[in-house]
A and B are shown apart, each in its own frame.
Chain A
Amino acid sequence: MTQPGPGLDVHALRALQRPRAAAAGLAERITAHLDAHDGYVAFSGGKDSLAVLHQILAVEPNVPVAFFDSGFEFPETYRYLEQITDQLHLDLHWYSARQTTLEVLTASGAWDHDAAAPAQRTDLHQVLITEPASRAHRDHGPGELWGVRAQESRGRAALYANALRTELAQHCTDDCRPGATHEAARRARHGGIVRRLDGTVAFGPIWDWRTPDVWAYLARYQLTVNPVYAKLRALGAPEHAQRVSHMLDGSQLEQGRATWLRRGWPQLFEELAAVIPRLREFV
């Protein structure tokens, strides 16, 4: 008697999903963005930036790829970066933060009841994102392509909603004004662009994708994803807890971020808890 098969393969099923209609016009928008602003692709090692990176490589294989190193990524992420760089022949540029995330957390005094609070706390976003991005813009131009999605948080949804309003008001010809065309067409033509005061312009090709859309895209093109996702999924971590950016900061601790770290990376957790003792309050 033959052995029964493994049953329904969800991964294969995802790959059969019809790609989002908006993806049809994305290549032209990516080309237009690179032509107008030059710049780089921000790659974090996560699923969203991988989907974006793959779309952009199809248009411009030599695009510079920037990795902003927090010095506090999962060990698997560093190995994955080497692997994906070889697989996709990336022109990868490494931008290390001037202070690692752990150094910032330790110096904040917030993670140790016995530590004195500093006169001024370091802004983690400034150290991890703003400064490295500024260096990357100096090297490659004012454009940026990223995998930031509106679904990820209220803040990001508001960012894209406001940016779309501004884009329609300031950078749109008459045929795109409200009422002239369908809402979906306006979003497809102008959505995802964020113009900053410093003159840099970010474009998120998958800004309005939902999480299943991203997984379906990665499955369709059989892209190698960061193994941290599989590890977190195997531990039982829910979708919102499956994150691969720096291992820890002040966010989502109240939702068990440190719990998954302790269970999946016990050696690392113990080393971290020795430096930031209050970490144990969040498991």
Chain B
Amino acid sequence: MTGHVPLTVRAELAGGIAQAAPWGIALDGLLASALWADHKAAVHAAGQVTDRLIDTPDPDDLDLPLARCTTDAGGWHWAATCAHPEDQASPLPEVRHWTGRTDHRAMEQLVAGLPATVSDRQGRYRARRMPLLVTTCRAVSWRAIGDVEAITALLQTVTAIGKKRSQGEGHVLAWTVTPDPTLEAWDAAHLHPDGTLGRPTPAGCLAGHPPVLDGGRGTAGLRPPYMHPARQQLLHLPALLDS
């Protein structure tokens, strides 16, 4: 497509990124979330409400500034990888913890009739002390085929990535989007810089290419919204962060 070139996106991070999934954040997911946030703001400004995605059986694809990679079977995904850490302090994640406790006073104000006891020790309102797995690194990078200017403009609205952003995790110091004409188109759409599989990929995409190290085969989303049931397929998973 016109204006789409192989490129590298780099997010310089303040102190790393917290991730629950065993692979990095997808670039197409980040761009889609930025577009969706703009869409929601416009709809709300017009006095309307947006439908929850889970109530939408087959969500529309947003018009991302990325090329599409199509397979013989008719499926397609955006030509972009998941995040790959650079200059990692350690190959293993740093385990931090977050805690959460039900605010009983707030619950009393929200609900007319509460049971005599809402336990902090069992049931769905139990207090939590959860591990937070942080990849300590200076930056993360993605490869993609897309429109450099449009991607740059969208990413400027993203100030933090990953889990626990409101607690300061995943703070982005700077975004750089650099065209890379030396990058093979297929590599830009599928592989990390170290040659491992960089995104959830249908088997049809890998046919005819040399074998690449992946994270095994499993169910995953093919394109945004990644968590939506309609987007789940049996795919080759990206190489695992902890492998």
Q: At the interface, yes or no: A274 with Cβ under 8 Å from chain B?
A: yes
Q: How many residues of chain A get a CB closer than 8 Å to chain B's CBs? A: 22
Q: Which residues of A contact B195 (CB under 8 A)?
A: none
Q: Are B129 and A254 in contact (CB under 8 A)?
A: yes
Complex: how many Å from CA A267 to CA B23?
Answer: 12
Partner of B242, one of A234, A267, A268: A234
Q: Which residues of B contact A25 (CB under 8 A)?
A: none
Q: Which residues of B contact A274 (CB under 8 A)?
A: 219, 229, 232
Q: At the interface, yes or no: B3 with Cβ under 8 Å from chain A?
A: no
Q: Which residues of B contact A264 (CB under 8 A)?
A: 22, 242
Which of A140-148, A163-171, A255-263 lies at the interface?
A255-263
Which A residue sits closest to B134, measured CB to CB?
A: A236
Q: Which residues of B contact A236 (CB under 8 A)?
A: 92-95, 131, 133
Q: Which residues of A contact B23 (CB under 8 A)?
A: 266
How many residue pairs link A and B with beta carbons under 8 A? The number is: 70
- Least CB distance from A93 to B in Å reads 33
Q: Are A266 and B242 in contact (CB under 8 A)?
A: no
Which A residue sits closest to B227, measured CB to CB?
A: A280
Partner of B127, one of A254, A259, A262: A254
Which B residue sits closest to A236, measured CB to CB?
A: B95
Q: At the interface, yes or no: B216 with Cβ under 8 Å from chain A?
A: yes
**Beta-carbon contacts under 8 Å, A229-264 to B:** 234-238, 241, 254-256, 259-260, 262-264
Starting from the known contacts A236-B93, A264-B22, 11 additional A-B residue pairs (CB-CB under 8 Å) come to A234-B92, A235-B92, A238-B131, A255-B129, A256-B131, A259-B20, A263-B21, A263-B242, A267-B217, A270-B219, A274-B229
Q: List 14 A-B contacts (CB under 8 A).
A: A234-B242, A236-B131, A238-B131, A254-B130, A255-B128, A255-B131, A256-B129, A262-B22, A263-B20, A263-B22, A264-B22, A264-B242, A266-B237, A270-B220
